[in-house]
Amino acid sequence: MTDRQATGWAAAAGVVAVGTGLALGELAAGLLSPSLSPVTAVGGAVIDVVPPGVKDWAISLFGTADKAALLVGMGLLIAALAALSGIVELRRRFAGVAVIAVFGAAGLAAVLGRSELTGGAIPAPLLAAAVGMILLRWLIGKLGEWQTDAGPDAGPEAGPEAGLGTGLDAGPDAGREAGLGAGPPRGGPGPTAPPPSRRRFLQALGGTAAVAAAAAVLAATFRGAAAVVNEVRSKLALPVPVSPAPPIPAGAEVRLDGVGPLVTPNKDFYRIDTALRVPVVDPGQWTLKVTGLVEREISLDFATLLAKPLVERHVTIACVSNVVGGDLIGNARWLGWPVRDLLALAGPKDGADMVLSRSADGWTAGTPLEVLTDNRDALLAVGMNGEPLPLEHGFPARLIVPGLYGYVSATKWVTELKVTRFADDVGYWTPRGWSERGPIKTSSRIDVPRDGRPVNAGTVAFGGVAWAQHIGIGRVELRVNRGAWQEAELAPGISRDTWYQWKLELPLTPGQYEVQVRATDLNGAAQVEERAPVVPNGATGFHTVRVDVKS
Ligand SMILES: Nc1nc2c(c(=O)[nH]1)N[C@H]1C(S)=C(S)[C@@H](COP(=O)(O)O)O[C@H]1N2
Ligand SMILES: [Mo]
């Protein structure tokens, strides 16, 4: 066997050893701690340490597939490290074992650092690392025997590329015996006949890979826990609101292809959160605690919440990471109990000015107490567009606060409201470079024509949305090539807490145009022209599209 072939097999042994450890670790986590596994802990830690700029970049590049991209990237990195551990273990006994020990320790540290940590989460990374280390030593030991038996001049042997096909699928020697091997069968006895140690190594490798596959399948089955809660969700009948959503005014939709819909369907609603695995919260186990600076602590279960007088409201929520012209914004009809009624029961004490809401996975948002107690419809929401909240959007309960970016208000899978003070507590994103307070900035978007898309000369229909939650939009204007502002036709919003659609037909002759939109709220304040990035408290600037008018 050549050095190159030995290296290839050692790398394969590393990948199989580490893969088996990880699969068994995930399996253990699936059994012992459904919301925290080594892989999700490491992924979560990666998400937490990446600078906000990288997070924004990842969201803009991968959109809602950002988690999948992270998992794939992690998988490739782990596979590379695993291959490396095999290669160094072959060169030097226990060197590869040490590599696995180091990333096992990193995995344990990641698990210990997660807020959703429970005792049940700790065995998984330990098991994963131990299994990986033992298997690596064992497989590389077998590879070493084969290497010794074959000797450096024993002639070409099947390398990993050829061997995985014949060796693992059909048994190490089946292919060769049947003449199906990668190379022409070499006849005759002598130094070129495969030594039994080759078979032993390939059987060990193949058998271990099979164990890994079985464990991985089982681990995936345990994630079926999500399926169980989904089932509970699908059987849930939401109560009828005592105060239904005000009807959508006639003409609220401009009916222009490419604009809308006015109410975003759940499946199209943007999703932003730090949860690598969607928290699976059984409503039967769920409680919401109101704690901190209150006269009376409250513990609310789901049945009690559903029995409260619920209201239904359309509210447009937006992400602070939404760039000018971006789509991290959506409008839904939310069913929930007004948070001010819940807080009134608890009785906030003097001096409190913030509510730190916490989710089942430990994420937090700091919301000014006053916006949760004033007359706006801040909701402890259980329904979204006539359905129970989708798991991704916070089932069984979340907060929805008109006028604030999601990162300071819209806690999904909410389990605690701690009445506190800005001086004493911070929400998740604040120490990571985002402002303590995050009122949504008045903004507007041109949805048609799309930027850079050619259109025919004549009357060109422009349309889009504008929002100034809890104030309402008073006017939307367009300007062409930085000329005079021209007022668009503004459709009625559903309420001042939702976005408004607008349209404007402009006669355009062939040529290139730059068209900008500007919204003004009902108090007469125009949206900010100066461009600002999303960090630290939301983007500003006019959405601008280039229109290529053809003759
Ligand atoms: N538990 C939890 N809730 C969360 C977040 C999170 O990371 N974890 N992200 C917030 C942010 S930044 C936004 S913009 C909204 C997005 O809500 P959506 O995914 O339902 O659109 O959820 C908020 N609620
Ligand atoms: Mo967000």
- Determine if ligand 1 sits within 6 Å of the CB of residue 363: yes
Domains 266-432 and 443-550 equal at CATH topology level: no
Residue nearest to atom 12 of ligand 1 (CA): 407
Residue 429 CA: which ligand 1 atom is closest? 12
Residue 420 is predicted with a pLDDT of: 98
Determine if the peptide bond prior to 396 is cis (ω within 30°). yes
Reported as a single tens digit per residue, the pLDDT across 495-537 is: 999 999 999 999 999 999 999 999 999 999 999 999 999 999 9
Q: What are phi and psi of 166, to 5 degrees?
A: -80, -40
Q: How much distance in Å is there from the Cα of 97 to the middle of ligand 1?
A: 40
Query: Which ligand sits nearest to residue 281's alpha carbon?
Result: 1
Reported as a single tens digit per residue, the pLDDT across 186-237 is: 444 455 688 899 999 999 999 999 999 999 998 887 766 766 887 899 899 9
Higher pLDDT, residue 225 or 183 = 225
What residue segments make up the domains of the chain, in order of their start? 3-159+194-223, 266-432, 443-550
Q: Which of 12-26, 56-70, 327-341, 410-424 is least confident? A: 56-70
- Determine if ligand 1 sits within 6 Å of the CB of residue 272: yes
Residue 279 CA: which ligand 1 atom is closest? 1
With a cut of 60, say whether residue 323 has pLDDT above it. yes
Give long-range contacts, CB 8 A cutoff, 24+ apart: 122-126: 123/28, 123/32, 124/25, 124/26, 124/28, 124/29, 124/32, 124/33, 124/37, 124/38, 125/25, 125/38, 125/41
Residue nearest to atom 19 of ligand 1 (CA): 271
- Is residue 175 within 8 Å of residue 165, measured between CB atoms? yes
Residue 378 DSSP SS3: coil
pLDDT tier for residue 29 given thresholds of 50, 70 and 90: confident
With a cut of 50, say whether residue 177 has pLDDT above it. no
pLDDT tier for residue 392 given thresholds of 50, 70 and 90: confident
- Determine if ligand 1 sits within 6 Å of the CB of residue 434: no
Cα 105 to chain center, whole Å? Answer: 25
pTM confidence score:
0.75
Residue 274 CA: which ligand 1 atom is closest? 7
Mean pLDDT of the chain: 90
- Determine if ligand 1 sits within 6 Å of the CB of residue 5: no
With a cut of 60, say whether residue 493 has pLDDT above it. yes
Residue 156 is predicted with a pLDDT of: 47
Residue nearest to atom 21 of ligand 1 (CA): 271
Using the CB atoms, write b or e for 468-478: b if 16+ within 10 Å.
bbbbbbbbbbb
- Determine if ligand 1 sits within 6 Å of the CB of residue 540: no
pLDDT tier for residue 300 given thresholds of 50, 70 and 90: very high
Q: How much distance in Å is there from the Cα of 317 to the middle of ligand 1?
A: 10
Residue 477 DSSP SS3: strand
Query: Which ligand sits nearest to residue 274's alpha carbon?
Result: 1
The CATH number of 266-432, from 1.10.3720.10, 3.40.50.300, 3.90.420.10, 3.40.50.720, is 3.90.420.10
Q: How far apart are CA 215 and CA 212, in angstroms?
A: 5
- Determine if ligand 1 sits within 6 Å of the CB of residue 60: no
- Determine if ligand 1 sits within 6 Å of the CB of residue 286: no
Residue nearest to atom 20 of ligand 1 (CA): 393
Residue 191 is predicted with a pLDDT of: 56
pLDDT tier for residue 31 given thresholds of 50, 70 and 90: confident
Q: How far apart are CA 59 and CA 70, in angstroms?
A: 11
Residue 326 is predicted with a pLDDT of: 97
Residue 168 is predicted with a pLDDT of: 41
Residue 34 is predicted with a pLDDT of: 59
Higher pLDDT, residue 463 or 117 = 463
Which two structure tokens, joined as six digits, stand for 91?
Answer: 């060169």
pLDDT tier for residue 35 given thresholds of 50, 70 and 90: low
Q: How much distance in Å is there from the Cα of 192 to the middle of ligand 2?
A: 64
Q: How much distance in Å is there from the Cα of 390 to the middle of ligand 1?
A: 13
Residue 361 CA: which ligand 1 atom is closest? 1
Q: How far apart are CA 76 and CA 248, in angstroms?
A: 49
Residue nearest to atom 6 of ligand 1 (CA): 273
pLDDT tier for residue 152 given thresholds of 50, 70 and 90: low
Residue 223 is predicted with a pLDDT of: 62
Residue 71 is predicted with a pLDDT of: 85
200's enclosing H/E stretch is helix 196-222
Residue 33 is predicted with a pLDDT of: 66
Higher pLDDT, residue 362 or 163 = 362
Residue 227 is predicted with a pLDDT of: 62
> Which one of 320, 412, 430 would you pick to mutate in the ligand 1 pocket, going by the greatest count of ligand atoms within 8 A of its CB?
412
Q: How much distance in Å is there from the Cα of 320 to the middle of ligand 2?
A: 5
Residue 121 is predicted with a pLDDT of: 84
pLDDT tier for residue 306 given thresholds of 50, 70 and 90: very high
Residue 158 is predicted with a pLDDT of: 46
- Is residue 211 within 8 Å of residue 20, measured between CB atoms? yes
Q: How much is the average pLDDT of 369-385?
A: 97
Q: How much distance in Å is there from the Cα of 243 to the middle of ligand 1?
A: 26
Residue 384 is predicted with a pLDDT of: 97
With a cut of 80, say whether residue 367 has pLDDT above it. yes
- N- to C-terminal Cα distance for the chain? 70
Q: How far apart are CA 206 and CA 154, in angstroms?
A: 23
Residue 212 is predicted with a pLDDT of: 95
The CATH number of 443-550, from 1.20.1280.50, 2.60.110.10, 3.40.50.720, 2.60.40.650, is 2.60.40.650
CA angle centred on 223, ends 76 and 211, rounded to 5° = 60
- Determine if ligand 1 sits within 6 Å of the CB of residue 393: yes
Amino acid at 405: Y
DSSP letters for 483-549: ---EEPEEPPPSSTTS-EEEEEEEEE-SEEEEEEEEEEETTSPBPP-S-B-STTT--BS--EEEEEE
Residue 412 CA: which ligand 1 atom is closest? 3
- Determine if ligand 1 sits within 6 Å of the CB of residue 47: no
Residue 71 DSSP SS3: helix
Reported as a single tens digit per residue, the pLDDT across 43-84 is: 888 888 888 788 888 888 887 788 788 888 999 999 999 999
Q: Which of 27-41, 244-258, 460-474, 528-542 is least confident? A: 27-41
Which two structure tokens, joined as six digits, stand for 295?
Answer: 């006269």
Reported as a single tens digit per residue, the pLDDT across 100-116 is: 999 899 999 999 988 66
Cα dihedral sign, 147-150-154-158: negative
Residue 272 CA: which ligand 1 atom is closest? 19
> Which one of 272, 334, 395, 429 would you pick to mutate in the ligand 1 pocket, going by the greatest count of ligand atoms within 8 A of its CB?
272
Which among 197, 229, 202, 191 is positioned nearest to 396, based on CA atoms?
229
pLDDT tier for residue 278 given thresholds of 50, 70 and 90: confident
Determine if the peptide bond prior to 449 is cis (ω within 30°). yes
Q: How much distance in Å is there from the Cα of 404 to the middle of ligand 1?
A: 12
DSSP letters for 44-61: HHHHHHS-HHHHHHHHHH
Q: How much distance in Å is there from the Cα of 410 to the middle of ligand 2?
A: 9
Cβ contacts of residue 133 below 8 Å, gap of 6+?
17, 21, 97, 100, 101, 104
Strand duo 414-420 + 287-292: pairing: parallel
% of the chain exceeding 70 in pLDDT: 90
- Determine if ligand 1 sits within 6 Å of the CB of residue 56: no
